[in-house]
A = this chain, B = another copy of it.
Amino acid sequence: MHETAELLKEHHLKATPQRIKIVSMLEEYGHINIEDLYSEMLKQFPSVSLATIYKNINQMIESGLIQEVKIPKTKSVFELIKEPHLHMVCENCGKIEDICVGTDKVIEEAERLSGYRIKESFITLRGTCPECR
């Protein structure tokens, strides 16, 4: 059995063709929004329902397989959960890239200044990518 199916099973989700496709797309594209997910799915599953997309995305979030990335001024995208990273968004071409830079410093200082115990960090930086300059 291929790995994507395994991944779903580990998260207590039945490995349906639609789900396998969703996860494959997340692996392929890294970040994808509902609209693109749906139109890509339609190519392979002409009768797929948007409800199926939403239901699956929500289940995958609940099971801890993926997370929503809310981006200022843009539609949310979804991504597989992996090691901590930050998001670079190009305001020109819309591309989103992960940067695995140590965010420990900000977190540490914010924790000290605020007295909060920080569990998760969501960092999105906007600017222009090298190709758009």
A residues near B (Cβ < 8 Å) are 67-68, 70-73, 76, 86, 88, 90-91, 97, 99, 101-103, 105-107, 109-111, 113-130, 133
Contact = CB atoms under 8 A, between A and B. Distances in A.
A103 B103 CA distance: 10
B122 A99 contact: no
Given A110-B125, A114-B129, 13 more contacts: A70-B71, A72-B120, A72-B122, A88-B118, A99-B110, A102-B109, A105-B105, A107-B125, A119-B127, A119-B128, A122-B124, A122-B125, A122-B126
Number of copies: 2
A130 B118 CA distance: 11
Contacts of A130: 115-116
A110 B133 contact: no
Contacts of A109: 101-102
A94 B128 CA distance: 33
The 10 closest A-B pairs by CB, nearest first: A70-B70, A118-B127, A115-B130, A122-B124, A120-B126, A116-B127, A119-B127, A117-B127, A118-B125, A123-B123
